[in-house]
Structure 1
Amino acid sequence: MQNFDFYNPTRIVFGKDRLQELDQLIPKNSRVLVLYGGGSVKRFGTLDKVLAGLGNRTVFEFAGIEPNPRYETLMEAVDLVRRESVDFLLAVGGGSVMDGTKFVAAAAPFEGDEESLLEHGFAGLPVEQALPLGTVATLPATGSEMNMGAVVSHKGGKWPVMSPLLYPTFSFLDPSLTFSLPTRQVANGVVDAFVHVVEQYVTYPVNAQIQDRTAEGILKTLIEVGPVTLANPEDYDARANLVWAATSALNGYIGVGVPQDWSTHMIGHELTAMFGIDHGQSLAIILPSVWKLRKEQKREKLLQYAERVWGIVDGSEEERINQAIAQTRAFFESLGVATRLDQYGVKENQVADIVEALKAHGMTELSERGDMTPEISHQVLIDAFSE
């Protein structure tokens, strides 16, 4: 196991009908900005419950944070924070709203060029302060409710924003708030959580037994509850397990002391930016091809994944790996998520443009080993078309 530090200060408030507890978790004299996306939090009554839970505090609202939150939109929220001397942010929504709120938290007190905050990637922001924030999660997918990361869209790219100052102070996870989600969003969320896990797990072994067994447990849970919660959206137990699996997939716990990949995410980001393919869909497209092209580098962990997650023990090593990849693709497709680039209207002659975008965004040494070149990414993308 590799050396690591582990720190996660986020308080999780899990379960039904607990939004009245907001009053206990935010300082009484706070000036609060509630940030959300479209009208669903209003239509389904979530916003009213949040506002009631905030009591008599001074509260402002900022609506319209879009999927894949745009820098320009978030800067409008930053202007509102500064103009009204807001000192606490509350995100109500899915990963995009939470990610956008994190950027606002970092940018509002920043005295330099806010656009420069997008330039630091996984190295972390050079900031010494950020506004405190909390979240009310309405979509199980990204894990943003319990980590320090965000992704912001700007100038045709998707830019990581990271800082320990951006951990939410608390996050409310009420599975019942997710019952009204469209099937497509739930299916994408299952895929997103699944790929979060394997980006940290299917790399190479370092004898991290706790991390491996926890990752395998999350994966098996997603395989079990994903179809159930899609078929029965108001099955509380299934949805509760999905919500906690999605949070556990990216709260840092399974990623400590182990190598991490993230190449599927980085290539997937370009598909979202260039073609508007949903984030979860982009991951379902790319992951099987990454594994196919990187069998040798991931051989030991792919075999472990095949046996422990899918119960595949018969056949040669090559056969077991191929079966595990096929099972993974079949699982995504069973959720209604297509897994081939051409199924989204992308043409093979556009692959070169995707690779150029990867180069422009510095994604030239991907994978847990840093040896996945643009040429290999090109091969992955070609393989992602229908056979």
Structure 2
Amino acid sequence: MQFTYFNPTRIHFGQGQIATITSEIPTDKKVLVIYGGGSIKRNGVYDQVVSALAEHQWQEFSGVEANPTKETLDKAVAIVKHDDIDFILAVGGGSVIDGSKYVAAAAHYDGDGWDILTKKHDVVTAVPLGAILTLPATGSESNAGAVITKKETADKLAFHAKVVQPRFAVMDPDVMKTLPERQLINGIVDAWVHTCEQYITMPTNAMVQDGYAETLLRTLKQVGDQFAERDNDAWRANLMWAANQALNGLIGTGVPQDWATHMIGHELTALWHVDHGRSLAIVQPSLLRNQIEAKRAKLEQMGRNVFQLSAGEDLAERTIDAIEAFYHSLDVATQFADHGMSHEQAVDTVVKQLEHHGMTALGENNAITLTQSRQILQNALV
């Protein structure tokens, strides 16, 4: 319990808050608005942005993918450099915000932006950015991390840099009204696993972090259980806020963290374009069963405090079963068969990618070697 915690992102939460960007971005800044496939033009968000930026000099860049690629983002980097952009406004979900972080960092670097992901370049300066969140899931709107894919090589890697954390984030739950069911479900699963990665590790007596993580898990479980009745303001607001709190740094402060499910899941997304949230649901139950002895105490705690399971020698096992059942209740698969390869070919391919990316000692104990990853994948891929 020794740490320094600081979250500089100012959050504007609630209905009608998009208008606040008028005062958040100085009018003497040249702004690049970055967004995805155009849904913001159908749900009214784009019009609100245009109105809020009426006194600003701005331009736009669209086409950021659900898993943002270096190849697309480098086009935005070129615009920022050529047009002397002073401020980036990301309008979208975690992918757009992650992609905008890459653009902000790469625009202050003369070399290949991929050097940021391979740790060849240390990001110390970046174009300032803000975010308007349209899809709750990743918490990227108020953290310093980003995950980017290099399409050419099917590499999906992460980077963290304090200077790319958004200066502000607008979170208006109304923008969720037009989101497809699949994206909402993915957001629930993503936020759930984010919380688990910082909670299902080892006992630390960090009562605040544990208690807050359990509150988030119970909230997400209730949101998932009430998915059929989701068309109301409270449901949307609670999912949006829970997803933010799951990865704004607070519950992971001063405690061990895992992230092995994410590292393995990223490979499924990069290789076979599995939705990020669904890749996590495929990997996590198998990983927890593989690491059950190391995680038994926290699994038992989760079973008691989140699922209200009865005591017993098999409580940890029943907790994993309950996690898997939660995914199944949302019609999210926990195994993956659509890889177009034989079982062994698929396992070998992912293991080789993990080795290539240096993911050879994962988890809070660095105990998930390639051997353990292979065992996990043998149970997760069918």
TM-score normalised per structure 1: 0.95
- Pairs within 5 Å for 1:39-188: 39-120=38-119, 126-154=122-150, 155-188=153-186
Q: 2:247 aligns with which of 250, 256, 265?
A: 250
* Structure 2 gap ranges (5+): none
Structure 1: runs of 5 or more not aligned: none
| Cα drift, residue 313 of structure 1 | 2.3
Residue 340 of structure 1 aligns to a residue whose secondary structure is coil
Query: How many pairs were matched up?
Result: 379
**Equivalent of 1:267 in 264, 270, 276:** 264
C-alpha separation in 1, matches of 2:229 and 2:338? 27
- Residue 295 (structure 2) pairs with residue 298 (structure 1): yes
Amino acid in structure 2 at the alignment position of 1:338? A
**Cα distance, 1:139 vs structure 2:** 0.4
Paired AA for residue 186 in structure 2: N
Shift of 1:336: 1.6
Residue 11 of structure 1 aligns with an amino acid whose one-letter code is R
Match of 1:326 in 2: 321
Does residue 317 of structure 2 align to residue 338 of structure 1? Answer: no
Residue identity opposite 2:321 in structure 1: A
Q: Is the 8 A contact 2:124 2:161 kept in 1?
A: no
Deviation at 1:364, TM superposition (A): 0.3
- 2-structure distance, mates of 1:336, 1:346: 24
CA distance in 2, matches of 1:127, 1:328: 37
From 201, 207, 210, the counterpart of 1:209: 207
**Which amino acid is the alignment partner of residue 356 of structure 2?**
A
Q: Distance in 2 between matches of 1:82 and 1:283?
A: 36
Q: Look up the SS of the partner of 2:158 in the other structure.
A: strand
Q: 2:367 aligns with which of 365, 371, 376?
A: 371
Of all paired residues, the percent bearing the same amino acid is 47
Deviation at 1:347, TM superposition (A): 4.0
Paired with 2:338 and 2:208, the residues of 1 have a C-alpha distance of 38
Q: CA deviation at 1:115?
A: 2.3
TM-score of the superposition, structure 2-length normalised? 0.97
Q: Which runs of 4+ in 1 moved over 6 A?
A: none
Residues 77 and 226 (structure 1), Cα distance of their counterparts in 2 relative to 1, 3 Å cut: same
Residue 344 of structure 1 deviates from its aligned partner by: 6.4
**Pairs within 5 Å for 1:213-228:** 213-228=211-226
Question: CA 1:188 to 1:347, structure 2 compared with 1: closer, same or farther past 3 Å?
Answer: farther
Residue 240 (structure 1) aligns with: 237
Q: Distance in 2 between matches of 1:385 and 1:112?
A: 38
Per-residue deviation, 1:385: 4.3
Measured after TM superposition, the shift of residue 110 of structure 1 is 1.4
Aligned Cα RMSD in Å? 1.3
Query: How far apart, CA to CA, are the structure 1 residues paired with 2:75 and 2:225?
Result: 39
